[in-house]
Amino acid sequence: MSISRDLPLAARQGTCDNDPLMCTLRVGGAFLVALGLAGCGVTNPSDLTSETFSGTVQPGVGAPANNQFLFSVGKTGEFIATITALSPDSGATVGGQYGTPTPGGCAIIGSNPLGGLNKQLFDITLPAGSYCFQVYDSLGIPRAQTFTLVLQHS
């Protein structure tokens, strides 16, 4: 005996116990949602494209970033940004920010002020589109820092 059959009829309205059509619709709806999510085009992390950029961050908290790297994302998928080299101070903290390119620079969408050597600045899902990335002095570096930035995306 089903637990829902022990309930009064009013409490069982719309359940699979007394309405086979409702049950079919629910199962079919769940299948369609799962099928739609499977085909939504999210990229598997092992299929990401890697782009490597190099530049220099000048000292000056709050100063505009003096570097900008452009990249395009082909379809919605994972976006990972990592500083893989930083010198002369490998322990320095620098920030990273991404956005959409504008005629005057980069319209910032997201920022992380706590980046550093081998620290992921971002590991997020990013929709298809054109983007820019900047590395900046977020906490007051004592001198210019050269860096290598790796962006992984679909």
CATH number for the domain spanning 95: value is: 2.60.120.380
Proportion of the chain in helix, strand, coil states, percent, rounded to 5: 20, 45, 35
* pLDDT at 34 > cutoff 60: no
* pLDDT at 7 > cutoff 90: no
Could you tell me if 66 and 137 lie in one domain? yes
Give 50's strand partners.
152
Could you tell me if 26 and 54 lie in one domain? no
Could you tell me if 83 and 117 lie in one domain? yes
* Residue 137: predicted pLDDT: 94
Could you tell me if 65 and 85 lie in one domain? yes
Q: Contact 42/125 with Cβ under 8 angstroms? A: yes
* pTM summary value: 0.71
Indicate the pairing of strand 77-87 with strand 129-136: unpaired
How far apart are the C-alpha atoms of 83 and 146, rounded to whole Å?
10
Could you tell me if 58 and 109 lie in one domain? yes
Could you tell me if 23 and 67 lie in one domain? no
Provide the domain count of the chain. 2
* pLDDT at 40 > cutoff 80: no
Burial 49-65 (b: 16+ CB within 10 A, else e): eeeebebebeeeeeeeb
Could you tell me if 51 and 125 lie in one domain? yes
pLDDT per residue over 121-130, tens digit each?
999 999 999 9
Average pLDDT score over residue span 14-40:
46
pLDDT band at 120 (very low <50, low <70, confident <90, very high): very high
Q: Rounded to a whole number, what is the distance in angstroms from the first to the last CA of the chain?
A: 51
Average pLDDT score over residue span 93-117:
95
Could you tell me if 21 and 76 lie in one domain? no
| Chain centroid offset of residue 95 CA | 16
Domain that holds residue 12: 4-38
